[in-house]
Amino acid sequence: MVVVEVMTISVPTLTLATGVVGLSVTIVMALLYGRHRDATGYAALMRALALHAAGLTVLGFEAEFPDGVGIAVANTAMAISPIFYIQAIGQLLQRRLPLRALALLAGVVVVGILFLIFVQPSTSLRLTVLGSYFLVTQAIEVGLLALGLRREPSAAYRTLFGLVVAITVTMLWRTLWFAANPDAAHTAGTPSVVLFMTNMVFFATTGLAWVGVLEDRYRRASLLANLELSRLSRTDDLTGLANRRHFDDVVATEVARSLRYGRPLTLVTLDLDHFKVVNDTLGHSEGDRVLRRVAQVMRSTSRANDLAARLGGEEFAMLLPETDLDDGERLAERVRTRIRAAGLSSGRDDAPLTISAGVAALAPSSAARAASADDAPTRWEPNELELAFAQALVDAADAALYAAKRAGRDRTTVAEEAVALDPGAQRRAAVAGARDWEPTGAA
């Protein structure tokens, strides 16, 4: 019984209701989200929705216009609106589209519609032409939105895509129904009822879905920008390695972890030999190239969990979690020999650029582990003991590096004793207790 009543609703009534809903929603969306007017596609979307809704509204008042004028104005506005909608989608997806060709197609359709209104009136043929045109433009819209499904993972974009698909399917159904029932042009049959109801939903939700897509993009862009800023704050501009600030933070964290869980930790500090000669003789641009090449060697030598950093000038470091002193010594020597073999100019005749390395390891005693672990579950930051060990580890590696420099450079020197509970005593012992790794073939 309800279906029969719906079937008797007049087309002008449905058209007017849909147009008024569309105009109201479009005005509200334009006012509420005016800040998006310069965003990708939003202005074109508002024009498309406004033209479509205005056309439907005029069509609803068809009886108030002279013969054929209301229909001509309404159909013209509705024929132009898909061009703006396709333009909006193209801008949203940042794609160049043949809008002139589409505008030409719309012009041909408008001329044909006017011909079928004023010259050779035919309601069924006019509706078939207009419906076919809408199907073509909506197929283009569906195809364009489908191309963006992978790039736009948001629920708002999928909602937008679903709305356009629903309108397209309903329009196809209505066009085929009119073709099979040419005398039913002014009757609100089931396809017309469904189409107008779908149009109401489309008007009510398309703008919101579009705004949702834009908001999701803003959130993702903001997140990526923050991630990039975070990366830049942790990265040395010249070499792409970790900078000094990030290195200090990670050293403190890894020392705390080593103390709490009794895991080995090794630090390697490296310094280019006679690097000032490179800058003075070959220029700072060549010096920068050398630093970048050294960074490449360090990256290619380090493992996934290692941290390679540039501490400043020609000084570098490698923090090696889960690595004991012997393994750290071997890795440092590998870096040293690879840099020597790279054939970088030292600015001193034909002598290759070399590097010196100092290695120190952390071997926390039971007492240190207990002191570190006492309040570990209740805090996130390293405590004073752990920070003292971190500084002691850095000092021990630096002392070993200075010992390598004094011994003639181009060598790896290892702190004889691992950093123990008394950081002050370790610092004093590191210099006196360093032992050299004598490189083979050193100049």
Residue 90 has pLDDT above 80, yes or no: yes
From 175, 201, 230, the end of a domain falls on 230
Q: Where are the beta strands (DSSP E) in 314-405?
A: 315-321, 355-362
**Same domain, residue pair 285 and 408:** yes
Burial bucket for residue 68 (CB in 10 Å: 0-12, 13-18, 19+): middle
Closest among 373, 423, 396 to 256, alpha carbons compared: 373
What are the residues facing 281 on neighbouring strands?
none
From 202, 230, 258, the end of a domain falls on 230
Tokens standing for residue 138: 């909506």
Looking at residue 221, its pLDDT comes to: 87
- CATH classification of the domain holding 176: 1.20.1070
- CATH classification of the domain holding 323: 3.30.70.270
Cα separation of 415 and 406, whole Å?
14
Q: Let me know if residue 238 belongs to a domain.
A: no
**φ, ψ at 418 (rounded to 5°):** -70, 155
Q: Residue 92 is part of which domain span?
A: 2-230
Percent of residues, the chain, with pLDDT higher than 90: 48
Per the CB < 8 A criterion, the answer to whether 437 and 411 are in contact is: yes
Q: Let me know if residue 443 belongs to a domain.
A: no
Residue 254 has pLDDT above 90, yes or no: yes
Band (pLDDT 50/70/90 cuts) for residue 433 is very low
Mean pLDDT across the chain: 84
Percent of residues, the chain, with pLDDT higher than 70: 84
Residue 271 has pLDDT above 70, yes or no: yes
Looking at residue 379, its pLDDT comes to: 52
Looking at residue 170, its pLDDT comes to: 86
SS3 (DSSP) at 312: strand
Distance of CA 416 to the CA centre of its chain: 48
**Same domain, residue pair 146 and 38:** yes
**Same domain, residue pair 214 and 80:** yes
SS3 (DSSP) at 187: strand
Residue 439 has pLDDT above 50, yes or no: no
Band (pLDDT 50/70/90 cuts) for residue 356 is very high
Cα separation of 57 and 160, whole Å?
24
**Same domain, residue pair 416 and 282:** yes
Q: Let me know if residue 58 belongs to a domain.
A: yes
Closest among 346, 350, 336 to 277, alpha carbons compared: 346
How many structural domains does the chain have?
2
**Same domain, residue pair 251 and 138:** no
Looking at residue 121, its pLDDT comes to: 92
Q: Let me know if residue 442 belongs to a domain.
A: no
From 204, 230, 256, the end of a domain falls on 230
The residues near 69 (Cβ < 8 Å, ≥ 6 apart) are: none
Say which range, 47-61, 365-379, 427-441, has the weakest mean pLDDT.
427-441
Tokens standing for residue 165: 């698909």
| Angle CA 191–197–202, to nearest 5 | 120
pTM greater than 0.85 (yes/no): no
Distance of CA 187 to the CA centre of its chain: 51
Closest among 124, 109, 14, 16 to 60, alpha carbons compared: 16
Say which range, 207-216, 262-271, 395-404, has the weakest mean pLDDT.
207-216
Q: Let me know if residue 307 belongs to a domain.
A: yes
Q: Let me know if residue 123 belongs to a domain.
A: yes
**Same domain, residue pair 224 and 260:** no
**Same domain, residue pair 202 and 140:** yes
Cα separation of 395 and 401, whole Å?
10
What are the residues facing 268 on neighbouring strands?
318, 359
Say which range, 139-143, 170-174, 296-300, has the weakest mean pLDDT.
170-174
Q: Let me know if residue 18 belongs to a domain.
A: yes
| Residue indicated by tokens 């193209």 | 90
**Same domain, residue pair 59 and 208:** yes
- Taking only the tens place, the pLDDT of each residue in 9-55 is 677 788 888 888 888 888 888 887 766 555 678 889 999 999 999 99
**Same domain, residue pair 254 and 122:** no
- Taking only the tens place, the pLDDT of each residue in 52-73 is 999 999 988 988 889 899 999 9
More confident residue, 60 or 332: 332
Q: Let me know if residue 401 belongs to a domain.
A: yes
- Tell me the average pLDDT across 146-152: 90
**Same domain, residue pair 196 and 323:** no
Closest among 116, 107, 63 to 82, alpha carbons compared: 107
The residues near 350 (Cβ < 8 Å, ≥ 6 apart) are: none
**Residue-wise burial string across 289-319, b where 16 or more C-beta atoms lie within 10 A, e elsewhere:** bbbebbbbbbeebbeeebbbbbbeebbbbbb
The residues near 124 (Cβ < 8 Å, ≥ 6 apart) are: 178, 182, 183, 185
**Same domain, residue pair 23 and 57:** yes
**Same domain, residue pair 222 and 262:** no
SS3 (DSSP) at 100: helix
